[in-house]
Structure 1
Amino acid sequence: MQPGGAPDMAQILKQAQAMQQQLASAQEELAQAEVTGTAGGGMVSATMTGSGELTSITISKDAVDPDDVETLQDLVVAAVRDANRAAGELTQATMGPLAGGMGGMGLPGF
């Protein structure tokens, strides 16, 4: 854009298309990545994709006490929360640079 002039729409569209391609690539990367959260010193683990889909839960035999089901339930919830936290960190690390790039396009509100 020239000082005091109109923005170059072709350049803005080109930048928007590049950002769209980068975003799609990052989303695919997140869908393929896996993170694992644990609880109880590793007795329970939860695995999810970077996009937040829970894919598995592993429970050690040592975590299973028929007389104390509540503790096992708490461990499962804690492991899923830990995996969700890790997925959020991965998403921020992957998508954060793309969000910062919007301001470089000179678009208001980005």
Structure 2
Amino acid sequence: MFPGGGQPNMQQLLKQAQKMQQDLAKAQQELAEAKVNGSAGGGLVEATVTGAGELVALTIAPAAVDPEDTETLADLILAAVRDANQAAQKMQAERMGPLTQGMGGGIPGLPF
């Protein structure tokens, strides 16, 4: 129910929904433009991903390249990408969390 038993002001609800949608779009754009780094092997391999998790760069130090042991290099690459993705997920939670929490009852009259 609504305070006082009345109906929600639909114009106010629409304004709140539009603002929330704008805020979410802005946060998503910021995440897409932000870049975070991850590394492995003491910096031998570095990965850069966007805040949305897209891999955009990978740097491999010459010392990490051993033609006789490509398996270790592959492991280092995976670890660096995972490290960068964890940083991106943390950034997503920090930026999107306050916005998405409002969806759980932030707009009166909506069931979610």
2:13 corresponding residue in structure 1:
12
In the comparison of the two structures, how many residue pairs are matched? 109
One-letter amino acid of the counterpart of residue 92, structure 1: A
Runs of 4+ in 1 over 6 A off after TM superposition: none
Matches of 2:3 and 2:11, distance apart in 1: 14
Q: Please give the TM-score of this superposition, normalised by the length of structure 1.
A: 0.94
2:101 corresponding residue in structure 1:
100
Greater Cα offset, 20-29 or 99-108: 99-108
**1:2 CA drift (Å):** 3.9
Matches of 1:104 and 1:71, distance apart in 2: 49
Matches of 1:48 and 1:26, distance apart in 2: 16
One-letter amino acid of the counterpart of residue 57, structure 2: S
**What does 1:78-89 align with in structure 2 at a 5 Å threshold?**
78-89=79-90
Q: Does 1:30 align with 2:31?
A: yes
Gaps of 5+ in 1: none
Matches of 2:59 and 2:3, distance apart in 1: 59
% identity of equivalent residues: 61
Matches of 1:24 and 1:66, distance apart in 2: 45
Matches of 1:29 and 1:10, distance apart in 2: 29
Gaps of 5+ in 2: none
**1:48 CA drift (Å):** 0.7
Matches of 2:79 and 2:3, distance apart in 1: 54
One-letter amino acid of the counterpart of residue 95, structure 1: M
One-letter amino acid of the counterpart of residue 72, structure 1: L
Q: Please give the TM-score of this superposition, normalised by the length of structure 2.
A: 0.93
1:91 corresponding residue in structure 2:
92
